[in-house]
Amino acid sequence: MRKGQYRFVAGFLLAPLALYLIFVIWPYIQTFGYSLTDWSGESPNFKFVGLDNYTALFHDDVFKQAIWHNVLLLVFIPVLTILISLFFAFMVNVGGRGGAGGVSGVKGSNIYKIIYFFPQVLSLAILAVLFQALYRSDEGGLLNGILIKLGLVDANSPIEWMNNPKLVLWCLMVVIIWHGVGFYLVLFSAAMQSIPREIYEAALLDGAGRSQTFFRVTLPLLWESVQTAWVYLGIVAMDMFVLASTLTPGTGFGGGPDHHGEVIATVLMRNFLYFGKSGYACAMGIVMLVLTMIISVITLRATRRERIEF
């Protein structure tokens, strides 16, 4: 009976495993093979160049600058998104005080959840169009229009949001954080609702304030959800292609001004489709894959804690 059970399970796993190997693993293997050649992306004729593409990456200043930008995004996007989401989730679930129910969210919390989640229903393409209007470098742009009306900015010299090397990366961060907060608010809210209310009521009876309740009760019990969110946001920070290529200026997938809005994905696609250096671009893709995997493993191990039962 046990042998028949194993054959039954193996039969069901065979097809999904085969599809995974064909459509996921095999493209990675092909990409690594192409990264060892001088393939142009169009011609079937190419030659093996070994590790020359990887060696060239270490001397490519644009690629190294893009890696640094991804590192900055990797630091700020997860931290700010998680902190803001945790704060809002805490307030709409257990941030209220008083009443017959003891512990509850702030007044109107159900409406707040809908408002915060709204950006998540928008695709990145629509998001790019909205923020292009927001970041316009004339008084027709929403930000500049407000600042000009308030007298904080001269109408003759509005702020060049996406053309300023010091602002462009921060503007991209704002878009991703604004878009992601709603999703992680729902994630953390679902996790908070699984925490027994008696724990919060006991903390309230002991005289704990909002900050003490958050750091001593909520955060430790939500740590697994925070850990998962950190990994997903790290992957988002390592990508950024859609927004960086559409919002930043520059020829061939954005990246401007003067490569200050560059990320690994934009450099990769420019080399692959614009310059015809597909083998070189494949090497970038492999480096990006390895960095993402390393960051995911480090994040999971660094944030690992003993599971708290309740």
Distance CA 128, CA 193 (A): 34
**Does residue 128 contact residue 243 with C-beta atoms inside 8 Å?**
yes
Top pLDDT among 170 and 125 is at: 170
Kindly state the DSSP code that residue 48 receives in the 8-state scheme. B
Q: Would you say residue 102 has pLDDT above 90?
A: no
Q: Is the pLDDT of residue 274 over 70?
A: yes
Return the residue matching tokens 């946001």.
233
Q: Where are the domains of the chain?
A: 51-302
The model's pLDDT over 172-201, given as tens digits with 9 standing for 90+, comes to 999 999 999 999 998 998 888 888 778 877
Higher pLDDT, 283 or 8: 283
> Among residues 274, 276, 275, 255, which one has the least CA distance to residue 266?
255
The C-alpha atoms of residue 259 and residue 77 are separated, in whole angstroms, by: 20
175 vs 221, more confident: 175
Query: What mean pLDDT comes out for the span 76-91?
Result: 92
User: What is the rounded CA–CA span in Å between residue 20 and residue 24?
Assistant: 5
137 contacts 161 by C-beta, under 8 angstroms: yes
Single-letter amino acid, residue 68:
W
Indicate whether 87 pLDDT > 70.
yes
Task: For residue range 225-255, list pLDDT tens digits in order.
Answer: 888 899 899 889 988 998 999 999 887 788 8
Query: For 92-96, what is the mean pLDDT?
Result: 74
Of the spans 9-18, 98-107, 176-185, which averages the highest pLDDT? 176-185
Higher-pLDDT residue of 128 and 209 is 128
Question: Quick check: 211 and 112 in contact, CB under 8 A?
Answer: no
Which residues share a beta bridge with 37? 48
Q: What is the CATH number of domain 51-302?
A: 1.10.3720.10
Is the pLDDT at 100 greater than 80? The verdict is: no
At 310, the pLDDT band (50, 70, 90 cuts) reads low
In the chain, the amino acid numbered 274 is Y
* For the chain, percent of residues with pLDDT exceeding 70: 94
Task: Give first-to-last CA distance, the chain, whole Å.
Answer: 38
Per the prediction, the chain carries an average pLDDT of: 86
Is this model's pTM higher than 0.85 or not? yes
pLDDT in tens, 20-40: 999 989 999 999 999 999 998
Q: What is the rounded CA–CA span in Å between residue 62 and residue 40?
A: 20
pLDDT recorded at residue 97: 57
Q: What is the tens place of the pLDDT at every residue in 103-145?
A: 667 777 778 888 888 888 888 888 888 999 999 988 888 999 9
